[in-house]
Amino acid sequence: MLLTSVIIILREVLEAALLLSILLAMSHFLHLRLRWFYAALAAGVAGSVVYGVQLAAISDAFDGVGQELLNAALQIAIYLLLLVIASLLVVNYYTANYYAGERHRGILSAAMTAAVAMAVLREGSEIFIYLSAFRYSPQPWSGVLAGSLLGAGIGFSVGALFYYLLVGLPRRRALLVTCVLLTLVAGGMVLQATQLLIQADWLPAQVPLWDSSALVAEGSLAGQMMYALVGYEATPTSLQVILYTASVAAMALLLLLTRYHQKKIRTARDVSQAR
């Protein structure tokens, strides 16, 4: 149970930890107060406990696929919030001096709060449900608890390392790296939502396009990292690949259009001030 617990908890913690590290690094560059972070953690933890306690009712909803549909809805909502967050980051960059814009920061903080709260709720509920399953199990808690703590420790350590790598970047490159990472994470959210909707029979099941298990196993540390960052699936279907590509392309196009528009506004303002 030790190794199983490590893998399961690591998988859940790593995804939320990577998203947290990216948004915290963004908050660092924008000099935002961390009130949004504490509020998001509190809301996410409380929501995950409520989710776990009400699991039976949630699972029975929508003809027995309520859990899959709720999780898919959370993933899609996070994707939409990441569109808003990344766009506002670009807007802030071009509003005034580097990362010194004041406009839209309230919306940005609210969007980050909602995204992190949903991510913590999603992953925290899975951990709550997993640990609750052993409440009446005859198996000793020691292996489960040790594995869970080890998995959580590895996940948070990777997230902390990721955060310090991001804040160590020069500011002129941080925007590009952050937007690329957010785009990959957002695409992973859509990929996971697609998988959940297939499990719920709301989308058609298909034959996998390829099987890369031999190259990168989903259960390996590399596989868990790729799952957390880009929603890695070793055996994706054509529908998953199409929706993932479309979601990444849509976010990239939105960011490019936002950048072009904000750059045009700043150029016009500079010309006006020079006259």
Over its length of 275 residues, how does the chain's per-residue pLDDT go in tens digits?
Answer: 677 788 788 888 888 888 899 999 988 888 888 889 999 999 999 999 999 899 999 999 998 999 999 999 999 999 999 999 999 888 887 775 544 456 677 888 899 999 999 999 998 998 888 888 877 666 667 778 888 888 889 888 988 998 999 999 887 788 888 889 999 999 999 999 999 999 999 999 889 999 999 888 887 778 877 887 787 888 999 999 999 999 999 999 999 998 888 878 777 777 777 77
Token output for 14: 């790593």
- Where helices occur in the chain by DSSP H, the ranges are 2-30, 35-53, 55-64, 66-95, 105-132, 141-167, 171-199, 221-230, 238-274
Contact assessment for residue 173 and residue 212, using Cβ atoms and an 8 Å cutoff = no
Residue 98: the pLDDT is 46
Longest Cα–Cα distance of the chain, Å, equals 80
Distance CA 28, CA 14 (A): 21
Q: How many CA atoms lie within 13 A of 174 on its CB side?
A: 23
User: For residue 14, how many other CB atoms are within 10 A of its CB?
Assistant: 26
Q: What is the pLDDT of residue 193?
A: 94
Alpha-carbon span 100 to 116, nearest angstrom: 23
Tokens 């939502």, residue? 193
pTM of this structure: 0.89
Contacts of 19 (CB under 8 A, 6+ apart): 78, 115, 116, 119, 185
Integer Cα distance of 96 and 131 in angstroms: 48
Please, are residues 47 and 121 in contact by the beta-carbon 8 Å criterion?
Answer: yes
Is residue 23 within 8 Å of residue 116, measured between CB atoms? yes
Paired tokens of 74: 């959370």
What pLDDT does residue 96 have? 57
Which residue pairs, CB below 8 angstroms and at least 24 apart, start in 133-137?
Answer: none
- What are residue 208's DSSP bridge partners? 237
Amino acid symbol at 123: E
Query: How far apart are the C-alpha atoms of 131 and 150, rounded to whole Å?
Result: 14
Residue 15: which of 143, 150, 118, 131 has the closest Cα?
118
Q: Tell me the C-alpha distance between 165 and 21, whole Å.
A: 10
Cα–Cα distance list, 96 to 107, 166, 191, 265 (Å): 17, 22, 36, 11
Q: Encoding tokens for residue 88?
A: 């506002």
How many beta carbons lie within 10 A of that of residue 28, not counting itself?
15
In this structure, the chain runs to a length of 275
